Amino acid sequence: MEAPIGCAVIGYGPLHNFGWAHSAWIDATPELRLVAVCDLDPARTAAAKEAFPHIRTYNDVADVWSDDEIALVSLVTPHFTHCPLAVQAFEAGKHVVVEKAMCLNVAEATQMIEAGKRAGRMLAVHHNRRHDGNFRRIREIVESGALGEVFEIDLYAGGYGPFRHGWYSEKAKSGGAFYFWGPHAVDWVLTLMPERIAGVNGYFHKLVWHEITNEDQVRATIRFANGCVADVTWSHIATIGKPLWRILGTKGGILDTGAGGNVGYEKQTHGPVGGSLTLITHGEEGRKEEQIPYLESDWGMYWQGVADHLLRGAPVPVSGEAGRRTIGVFEAAERSSKTGQTEAVPYE
């Protein structure tokens, strides 16, 4: 394959301007070239053409499949469309980057992985938030061994209020409350803890916001083969919150409140800016507490990783198999919320 690689963004929606963000990341990657943007809505392709005058625009994916200049497509559409669009893209011989959530369930994930393999094309899941500055710093500290053996990971986000957010609030289209922020959180946990998943317990609540079909609060506890337990909660009924991150190890812990510019789409191409986390360690000199600044967020590096894979055989930035494990956790958590039992994750 030769650089620059022709790319199309499919889905240029208004809710988070994320089709724009994908277009900007692709445009900023020297070995990738934004050829086209496709959206069902002509008003959205007009907006894309205004922002990126050099591109072609399409309102039907069939035109993307037949455009020979396009080797790679990026799917930035609602979750329920990811699997069917990815399978069509592979059948047309395109490489695929798919936004999180990868798809609605494990069966769809497997369909996507197999279609990519049959076509001999790349499937990459856009878990861009591995490049968040706070997560990059947390990963660096955990991998340095400064915490000793990590045995507990606690992640929380949410608040109190109904989640009225277009198709995201419709469980049949979104997958449910876990599929909005949850893919980032579970992917972070699985990246920090590369151990077999021994089982998942789920606790789902639907108590207050009956005008939407998503759950009000979802929680998964993931037990790893080495005994580590991770707890991920996303809530729309939490009158009292918790810190974003708390990690405990045998020699130290991390607390990250998430304050200090951690979350924000205002700098789409760069990710979160500023902020710091608390690191507490117990060494030979006793207890030590430090404020550690976040690293730079480098979301654009995901796209350099895509180019490195296609041009030089580097690993896929986030493989379909890695994406499927995250979806497997949601599925097991939902099953467990109904059975009351610990549930296994396929492809653990």
Ligand X SMILES: NC(=O)c1ccc[n+]([C@@H]2O[C@H](COP(=O)([O-])OP(=O)(O)OC[C@H]3O[C@@H](n4cnc5c(N)ncnc54)[C@H](O)[C@@H]3O)[C@@H](O)[C@H]2O)c1
Angle ∠(19,23,25) on CA atoms, nearest 5 = 115
Judged by CB under 6 A, does residue 38 bind ligand X? yes
Instruction: Spell 203-219 as b/e; 16+ CB within 10 A means b.
Output: ebebeebeebebbbbbb
Judged by CB under 6 A, does residue 164 bind ligand X? no
Binder among 45, 74, 128, 326 for ligand X (CB under 6 A): 128
Query: Which lies closer to ligand X via its Cβ, residue 11 or residue 328?
Result: 11
Q: Output the smallest distance, CB 72 to ligand X, in A.
A: 16
Q: Output the smallest distance, CB 107 to ligand X, in A.
A: 18
The residue at minimum Cβ distance from ligand X is: 13
Q: Output the smallest distance, CB 77 to ligand X, in A.
A: 4
Is residue 143 within 8 Å of residue 118, measured between CB atoms?
no
Which amino acid, residue 321?
E
Judged by CB under 6 A, does residue 126 bind ligand X? yes
Q: Which residues, including other chains, have CB under 8 Å from residue 180's CB and lie 6 or more apart?
A: 101, 163, 165, 168, 174, 234
Judged by CB under 6 A, does residue 77 bind ligand X? yes
Query: Which lies closer to ligand X via its Cβ, residue 38 or residue 218?
Result: 38
Judged by CB under 6 A, does residue 99 bind ligand X? yes
Q: Output the smallest distance, CB 287 to ligand X, in A.
A: 36
Measured between alpha carbons, how far is 157 from 142 in angstroms, rounded to an integer? 21
Give the pairing of strands 123-126 and 95-99: parallel
Binder among 56, 95, 100, 324 for ligand X (CB under 6 A): 100
Residue for token pair 């089982």:
199
How many residues in the shown chain lie near ligand X by CB under 6 A?
Answer: 26
Distances (CA, A) of 255 to 30, 83, 138: 37, 37, 10
Distance from chain centroid for Cα 21: 14
Judged by CB under 6 A, does residue 146 bind ligand X? no
Judged by CB under 6 A, does residue 39 bind ligand X? yes
Query: Which lies closer to ligand X via its Cβ, residue 39 or residue 215?
Result: 39
Question: Which residues sit at the interface with ligand X, rule CB under 6 A?
Answer: 10-16, 18-19, 38-41, 44, 61, 76-79, 81, 99-100, 126, 128-129, 166
